[in-house]
Amino acid sequence: MVDATKNNDYERIINNPLNPQFKNKINFLYDYNNQIPIYSNEDLNVILTLFEIPFDKNIDRIYKREKLFEFYKNNGYDQKVSPALFMLFIYSWYGYRAILRTNEKPTIESKEIESFSLVDIKIDDVITSKKEKYKNELKRRIVYNPGSEESKRITGKKAEDIVLEYLKVHAKELDAHNITPWCYGENQDDGKGYDISYFLSNGTEIFVEVKGTKADLKGQVYFEMSRNEYNVMKNNPDTYYIFFVNDVNKGNIIQRILAKDVYGEESIKYRVNFKSMLKDENKTIALNSRELKKSDDKIKD
């Protein structure tokens, strides 16, 4: 396999029985100056289409990667960034993400929503620290990991699907009309600062930002907000809600938090950590404390 990579013997590489993505990683390891480290066949199809690079979808992915590398080389990008940085640009590029999300199908059906409950979080006590413990904190170094980012994207998509389907199924009891998803599909607009909107019968517009985790936080509610999300939330204290889905793959509770209960009277800096306790007997959430991060660091979307 290594010998075939060094000699650009594509036929030997294709016929090798190893996993296709593993083979491509070996290719990049031994020929990183002539390889764009993108391994998914589906991703390559989307990227080549976006760049308007002619290609046959039926050819092996190694030839698709070769076409992408030729595009990278012929347009002089190799004089500015490495193949790895070019890959990072593509994966962080809005156009690429928008195409993927537009083509996605819902991950949950209406019948699955029947087991879900919508729970309002109530604040019993709020504890804030006066210590400037973040003042001298070293900024965390963020390393872009496509695999990790894809996992987060899938989790977020599942949470969005759960909330959207719940709103549709329970539209009558929630007095929800004209439910519109802005997080994906034809109406996608990542700049709105919320994922879903709907109207009450009195004409009031409700804004919903969906947060979720695939882990079971066992009573905690933790999420991160972008500056835009936070600002939109602050400007709509009585009509903006966080819908938090804990354990998106196994859980069945959606926790709803009103905007003014998130930031209170003092401005927070984008990172919100609720410590809450679920009371099984009446399906309510008691919020015991809230930690506010005193930092101006930008929190990613």
pLDDT tens-digit series, residues 138-154 = 344 444 455 566 677 78
Residue 102 has pLDDT above 80, yes or no: no
Residue 84 has pLDDT above 60, yes or no: yes
The C-alpha angle 211, 216, 217, rounded to 5 degrees, equals: 75
C-alpha–C-alpha distance, residues 100 and 94, integer Å:
10
According to DSSP H, which parts of 10-140 are helical?
10-15, 20-30, 41-50, 61-74, 83-92, 94-102, 110-113
What pLDDT score was predicted for residue 140?
Answer: 43
Exposed (0-12), middle (13-18) or buried (19+): which is 1, by Cβ within 10 Å?
Answer: middle
For residues 95 and 85, the model is more confident at 85
What pLDDT score was predicted for residue 209?
Answer: 94
Residue 83 has pLDDT above 60, yes or no: yes
Domain boundaries, the chain: 2-102, 110-292
Q: Count helices and strands (H / E) in the chain.
A: 12, 9
**Long-range contacts of residues 90-98, Cβ cutoff 8 Å, at least 24 apart:** 90/38, 90/47, 91/38, 91/144, 91/146, 91/149, 92/144, 94/190, 95/50, 96/46, 96/47, 96/50, 97/153, 98/188
pLDDT tens-digit series, residues 32-64 = 677 777 767 777 888 888 888 888 888 888 788
β-pairing, 177-181 vs 196-199, is: antiparallel
Q: Rounded mean pLDDT of 115-141?
A: 50
Tell me the residue type at 66. E
What pLDDT score was predicted for residue 301?
Answer: 40
pLDDT tens-digit series, residues 246-262 = 888 888 889 898 888 77
Q: Which of 52-61, 213-222, 236-245, 279-288 has the highest mean pLDDT?
A: 236-245
Coil/strand/helix, residue 188: coil
Residue 12 has pLDDT above 60, yes or no: yes
**Long-range contacts of residues 136-140, Cβ cutoff 8 Å, at least 24 apart:** 137/295, 139/297, 140/297
Residue 197 has pLDDT above 80, yes or no: yes
Measured in whole angstroms, how far is the alpha carbon of residue 118 from the centre of its chain?
Answer: 22
Range with the lowest mean pLDDT among 7-11, 72-76, 99-103, 237-241?
Answer: 99-103
For the segment(s) 110-292, the CATH number from 3.40.640.10, 1.20.59.20, 3.40.1350.10, 3.30.70.270 is 3.40.1350.10
What pLDDT score was predicted for residue 260?
Answer: 81
Residue 205 has pLDDT above 60, yes or no: yes
Paired with 205 in beta bridges are: 199
Q: Which of 123-132, 186-195, 232-241, 289-298 has the highest mean pLDDT?
A: 232-241
Residue 203 has pLDDT above 60, yes or no: yes
Residue 200 has pLDDT above 60, yes or no: yes
Whole-model pTM: value is 0.53
What pLDDT score was predicted for residue 114?
Answer: 77
Mean model confidence pLDDT for the chain: 72
β-pairing, 196-199 vs 240-245, is: unpaired
pLDDT tens-digit series, residues 286-299 = 333 333 333 334 33
